[in-house]
Amino acid sequence: MQAIDTRVTLAPLTQLSEEERMFQSTVRKFARERIGPHVRAMDEAGVFRKDLIQECFDLGLMSIDVPEEYGGQGGYFFQSILAIEELAKVDPSAAVIVDVQNTLFNNAILRWATDDQKRKYLPRLTKDTLASYALSEAGSGSDAFALATRAVDEGDNYRLNGRKLWITNAAEAELFLLFANLNPDAGYKGITAFMIEREFPGFQVGKKEDKLGIRASSTCELILDDCKVPKANVIGEIGKGYKIAIETLNEGRIGIGAQMLGLAQGALDHALAYAKQRKQFGKTIAEFQGVQFDLAEMAVEVEATRLMVYNAARLRDAGLPFVTEAAMCKYFASQVAERTASRAVEVLGGVGFTKDYPVEKLFRDSKIGRIYEGTSNMQRVTIAKQMLDKK
């Protein structure tokens, strides 16, 4: 009997195509040369430079998978993940700005907007218009669909009233994908998505939060006081806002995974560089086995994170189920980022605790990974439910 050849040739998940490598290299160069010199000043001021945001637009980073017919790059989701990772190595604040624009806002518009809405808004989103995704409220964090913001039908318009909290990009954004309940009696099935322009009557960007980390990325309150929204600005179907939110957040979690991956890699890179030049007892601290063990464990966790993030992104692009993998990579990456940044501070010792070295900032930035776009506990719930529901 002829033996069966069971060998399978598979490309590693981290193997990139030539196009992907070139794209990654371009983003890496931009992050290091253009964003890097301003990271500390932006963190201290709590403001991201407008000229750098425009450079992100000019480089195509704000419209990676928007079709070329609308002025976008005509790329795909995995390229967005590569960009987010590279930016986060240098500044997680830059990464979250690009992340929200691509994985949440643009993604929702491409999938749910009408052709007229796409023609109206996508060219702006590719050129110079920053966007924001407004779901969270004071009483609806993890319970995302306990929305208090209400929409009322008034003929040609809807009238919206309510407050949104913790909205990323809000200080600079001109467009907001905002969720409100048009039929509270229907519960979450009354939630509808609206495209809000900053200049709409009754709409206002409120208090900007003073945060622990990702300080240069703005996080603000939104105030809707009899805000008039044209009926043409409903995104998707009436009452389908919950579906838009669920699907975009599932993909957005891969983006958060990429942020935390990049952050962890950046912290590891700083620790490696410092360990090879810092001397104690006549030799570099990298020569001490205790330090080597720390660096090795950090490297293993970062590489495991990369495999999980890339796998989730590749599954999404292939049109395969990815919800479990997205929750897993977000959950795991946020843990690894926090641990790696903390250990990097310890490798650097006293200077690691000062603002003169970047690891202190990366440690502060890492904490948000376990909170936004679904807390770690919510990821555990999703993972467990997906596993238990399998037959």
For the chain of 391 residues, list the mean pLDDT of each consecutive stretch of 10.
54 87 98 98 98 98 98 98 98 98 98 98 98 95 88 96 98 98 94 98 98 98 98 97 95 98 98 97 97 98 98 97 97 98 98 97 98 95 92 64
- The CATH T-level fold of domain 18-129 is Butyryl-Coa Dehydrogenase, subunit A; domain 1 (1.10.540)
What are the residues facing 130 on neighbouring strands?
A: none
Predicted pLDDT at 64: 98
Predicted pLDDT at 67: 98
Cα separation of 73 and 61, whole Å? Answer: 8
Predicted pLDDT at 193: 98
- Tokens representing 39? 């990271």
54: amino acid identity, one letter: Q
Predicted pLDDT at 144: 77
Predicted pLDDT at 9: 53
Domain residue spans of the chain: 18-129, 132-239, 242-389
CATH architecture under which domain 242-389 falls: Up-down Bundle (1.20)
Centre a 10 Å sphere on the Cβ of residue 333 and count the other Cβ atoms it contains.
32
Q: Single out the residue of 215, 218, 191, 216 nearest to residue 206, CA to CA.
A: 218
Cα separation of 296 and 254, whole Å? Answer: 25
Q: Which of 251, 301, 360, 373 is catalytic?
A: 373
Is 373 among the residues known to form the active site?
yes
CATH class, 132-239 region: mainly beta
Q: How far apart are the first and last CA of the chain?
A: 36
